[in-house]
Amino acid sequence: MSITPLITKMRILWASQTFVDVQCLYRNVKIVLEFGIASIITINCREIEAMKKIGILGSGIVAKTLGSGFIKHGYSVMLGTRDAEKLQEWLADKGPNASVGSFEDAARFGDIIVLAVKGIVAGDAIDLAGPQNLHFKTVIDTTNPIAPVAPEDGVLKYFSSINESLMEQLQNRFPEVHFVKAFNSVGSALMVNPIMKEKPTMFICGNNIGSRKQVAEILQLFGWAVADMGRATAARAIEPLCMLWCIPYMQDGLHNHAFSLVTE
């Protein structure tokens, strides 16, 4: 039996979340596959990781930074945009693992999706991508509900309420998408393998346990400690971390800081 049909079947099962333990980076897993009869094989997750594709919805600094980071770590990446011309400079030196397409192209391309647009247009971006192309996929939600008004004393204003986060709004609107909040509480310059005095912490949350594990492993690869806060409700607390991070930047121009969860 060749590896190709096994991998194909595995990817179908993975997409349906049947075998969430497949979502790993550097350990061996056993996967039950059916080809008339049940078979059990062992595949090194390095092989799985090598075929992983990332679709990024967005073309701004966060999208480009994370896209470059994924390429650095061996992923294939497609950035989705409404204006491919403005990404030609980014694309020029990225090699064969980088590409640019429409929002829908990127949504179809990615095994994992990154939502990297302004929070106020996050739902529209998913509509452009085609929600059906994101069903049961992990979508890393980097957005914040920043209102299009001036900050007050360096404090951003949000269009969401303290009792309903932007990610909860997206999850309710697109219930078959597996959103995980991450990368929303730090500046883009520190998102990928930051060099700091101590390892910073990325706070994450989302309703799907398998997707949270998948994002946690990516964050560890990107040099972060991970604090898993549980279900999407926790985004009510995680999204405002952006407000706190931005105060030193707004007041004093500081952008080389991140949060760290300290325990005994």
pLDDT on residue 129: 98
For the chain, domains (ranges, CATH) are 3-49 (no CATH), 52-252 (3.40.50.720)
Low-confidence ranges of the chain (pLDDT < 50): 1-48, 50-51
Q: What is the pTM of this model?
A: 0.82
pLDDT tens digits, one per residue of 134-161: 999 999 999 999 999 999 999 999 999 9
pLDDT on residue 59: 97
pLDDT on residue 261: 97
Both tokens of 225, joined, read 């400690």
Q: Which of 158, 139, 178, 168 is nearest to 235 (CA)?
A: 168
CA atoms within 13 A on the CB side of 217: 18
pLDDT on residue 190: 98
State residue 105 phi and psi, 5-degree precision: -60, -45
Could you give the CA distance from residue 161 to residue 150 in angstroms, rounded to a whole number?
A: 18
pLDDT on residue 264: 87
Could you give the CA distance from residue 221 to residue 2 in angstroms, rounded to a whole number?
A: 30
pLDDT on residue 183: 98
